Amino acid sequence: MSGAAEHGAPAGGSVFASGVKEQTIRANPSVARVAAVLSGAGSTARIMVTDEAAHSAAEAARVLACDVAQIAKSIIFRSKDSDRVVLVVTSGANRVNEKRVVEEIGEKIGKADADFVKQRTGFSIGGVAPLGHLTEPITLLDADLMKFDLVFPAAGHPNTMFRIAPDELARLTGAKICPVN
């Protein structure tokens, strides 16, 4: 399954922003940080700026006209033992099973509040990207994402996403690929 980003905009016209709106969003420090990581790693992934903000996997899938399972959600937890960021990049169709995360990382986890997320990752909830964090997270990548040619993570702002092969995403994030639901 490939999705809208590979075949152009969905029927009915472009969903991608242009002009001043696109320039303003691309200049956002969080988006610029993600772009720098992608570029610095030699990735061919490019950030897409949409006219509509996507605040859920379902909204992102609708905007991109792709399967919700192709949306790569970045869910942040807080390690109770080491106080580190735990990033779980999961399919938009899945809910994270916290017990499974604990089994994979060997530490208890808790919910991360908005202040913790912003301070440790540099991203606001709703635009958390899987890479470009201020502090290196413990990262897990949902094995279900590996069945797709392309997946679509957030790129630092609710109006941004990028398309990337899941194996490249795993490489760039240093993620452990495992079941998380």
Domains in the chain with CATH codes: 4-178 (3.90.960.10)
Q: CB under 8 Å to 47, separation ≥6 — which residues? A: 26, 31, 34, 35, 38, 155, 160, 161, 162
pLDDT the model gives residue 2: 41
pTM score, whole prediction: 0.89
Residue pair 85/76 in contact (Cβ under 8 Å)? The answer is yes
Query: Which pLDDT band holds residue 1 (cuts at 50, 70, 90)?
Result: very low
pLDDT the model gives residue 16: 65
pLDDT digit string, tens, across residues 93-150: 999 999 999 999 999 999 999 999 999 999 999 899 999 999 999 999 999 999 999 9
Query: Which pLDDT band holds residue 17 (cuts at 50, 70, 90)?
Result: low
Instruction: Tell me the residue ranges of DSSP E strands in the chain.
Output: 47-49, 71-79, 85-91, 109-111, 138-142, 152-153, 160-162, 176-178
What's the whole-number mean pLDDT along residues 161-176? Answer: 97
89/127 Cα distance (integer angstroms) = 13
Residue pair 135/121 in contact (Cβ under 8 Å)? The answer is yes
Rounded to the nearest integer, the mean pLDDT of the chain is 91
DSSP 151: B
Higher-pLDDT residue of 77, 12: 77
